[in-house]
Amino acid sequence: MSPLPSEFRPDEQYAADLDAADDLAIYRERFHIPLAADGRPKAYFCGNSLGLQPVRAEALVREELEDWSRLAVDGHFDARRPWFKYHEQFREPTARLVGALPGEVVVMNGLTVNLHLMLVSFFRPEGKRRCILMEENAFPSDTYAVQSQLALHGLDPNEDLLIARAREGETAVRTEEFAEFLDRHGDRIALVLLGGVNYYSGQLFDLPRITRMARDRGCAVGLDLAHAAGNVPLKLHDWGVDFAAWCSYKYLNAGPGAVAGCFVHERHAADPDLLRLGGWWGNDPETRFRMHLEERFRPVAGADSWQLSNPPVLALAPLLASLEIFDEVGMDALREKSQQLTGYLEAWIDHVADPRVEIITPRDPAARGCQLSLRVCERGKDLFAAIQSAAIVGDYREPDVVRVAAVPLYNSFHDVWRLGRALAGWAGA
């Protein structure tokens, strides 16, 4: 962990000193910070749900609108960023972001759509090996996708969906629980589908170890990185993950409902015989416009072959603005600041020491991203209301959890100080 520069103090000057020493503080100016009714910036801790808008996003969208008005159909080849190959410009920065080779990643569709496309290819139940293993409290959409895929194969979600759970009295699912599951049921498990960072608890799983254990037992491994991409460093290629999918509207700041991303390891991505759903934009671009003259789908080598339709240019443009910033800063620097910010927030909660508030996110900085999930056993909604009234944005998850994420690209230590003060005011009420 990157520790706080000096022992925690609850005074405002301490937060100001931390901000003054922060080399990444300048990047806050690259985002639009929402304003409160009195005109002051809100303290925004909801990047785990929707990231802030990069300032440059508007100009990039406007450029595409201008090219559309000026060129119409000729924009496919003559626009400033030609639309025919628009998705290709995302390969390199996306690969750097998730630790992949450029040919292993593609931006397309939405997260759950991509998960369904991946499950078609990688969930191939056969004989006894027909189960899917997930973690407790996985994001509901993942669970719904898995249940429906099991049903499509004529399997019973009540029997063939296995859940690794936390031990009694704990909130994190230990790696040992996955190991025990794989030891007991490995010959029954076709696929392990895991959230890289659990949306509810904020736990970052030991992805390389779990991947290695699962693959050693003959299981395919897929990851939902909705809360991990842009939050924690990833090495998908080196870890040997079979596939992954993520959204880009949370930590990747590409806007509401933004286009998602997908990873397919090169050992699969270049295999033309691997079953996948076909669509014309996954076809070899050299023959893509032969249209009806090409009667058979010929997948292009790489993750691009899972594309079904041409890329939505206007929706993708904001992602360019965000990825430019990630490339400038780098995930290692972001991770260092993230651990300091989250550590400062954790220190504030410990300082307040209200017995009604429990941090259910792991205390180990290596086992979490920037999100802390607070279980509030009494008056949880009152705490959330107190935060909101102080011009602080977080979110509430039923039945009793307040989630707050100190995002290193745009949150300041002073933001955390404001949240700590609001928590202290509520605790003393």
What's the pLDDT score for residue 295? 78
What's the pLDDT score for residue 429? 53
**The domain containing residue 143 runs over which residues?**
62-327
Go through 169-179 and write b for each residue having 16 or more CB atoms within 10 A of its CB, e for each that does not: eebbbbbebbb
Q: What is the CATH number of the domain that holds 214?
A: 3.40.640.10
Cβ neighbours of residue 410 closer than 8 Å, sequence gap 6 or more? 27, 28, 30, 31, 33, 44, 47, 52
Dihedral of the alpha carbons of 147, 297, 75, 52, in degrees to the nearest 10:
20
Look at residue 222 and tell me if it is in a domain: yes
Q: What is the CATH number of the domain that holds 25?
A: 3.90.1150.10
Residue 273, classed as helix, strand or coil, is coil
Sheet arrangement for strand 395-397: 357-359, 371-376, 401-405, 395-397
Run of H or E residues at 67: helix 57-71
Sheet arrangement for strand 131-135: 105-107, 261-264, 243-246, 220-224, 189-195, 131-135, 161-164
What's the pLDDT score for residue 128? 94
What's the pLDDT score for residue 1? 44
Look at residue 263 and tell me if it is in a domain: yes
Look at residue 256 and tell me if it is in a domain: yes
User: What length does the chain have?
Assistant: 429
- Same domain, yes or no, for 19 and 141? no
| Residue closest to 357 by CA, chosen among 400, 303, 307, 405 | 400
Total domains, the chain: 2
DSSP H stretches of helix in 270-412: 313-329, 331-352, 380-389
- Same domain, yes or no, for 198 and 149? yes
- Same domain, yes or no, for 346 and 227? no
Residue in the block written with tokens 């941090």? 359
* pLDDT in 10s for each residue of the chain, 429 residues: 467 777 899 999 999 999 999 999 999 999 999 999 999 999 999 999 999 999 999 999 999 999 999 999 999 999 999 999 999 999 999 999 999 999 999 999 999 999 999 999 999 999 999 999 999 999 999 999 999 999 999 999 999 999 999 999 999 999 999 999 999 999 999 999 999 999 999 999 999 999 999 999 999 999 999 999 999 999 999 999 999 999 999 999 999 999 999 999 999 988 988 999 999 889 888 877 776 777 788 888 999 999 999 999 999 999 999 999 999 999 999 999 999 999 999 999 999 999 999 999 999 999 999 999 999 987 778 899 999 999 999 999 999 999 999 999 999 999 999 999 999 999 985
The token pair at 161 is: 């969906």
For residue 22, the tally of other CB atoms under 10 A from its CB is 18
What single-letter amino acid sits at 237? H
Find out whether the peptide bond into 272 is cis, omega within 30 degrees of 0. Answer: no
Look at residue 182 and tell me if it is in a domain: yes
Q: How many CA atoms does the CB half-sphere of 13 hold within 13 Å? A: 0
What's the pLDDT score for residue 294? 78
End-to-end alpha carbon distance in the chain: 34
| Residue closest to 45 by CA, chosen among 37, 63, 33 | 33
Domain boundary among 327, 357, 385: 327
Run of H or E residues at 106: strand 105-107
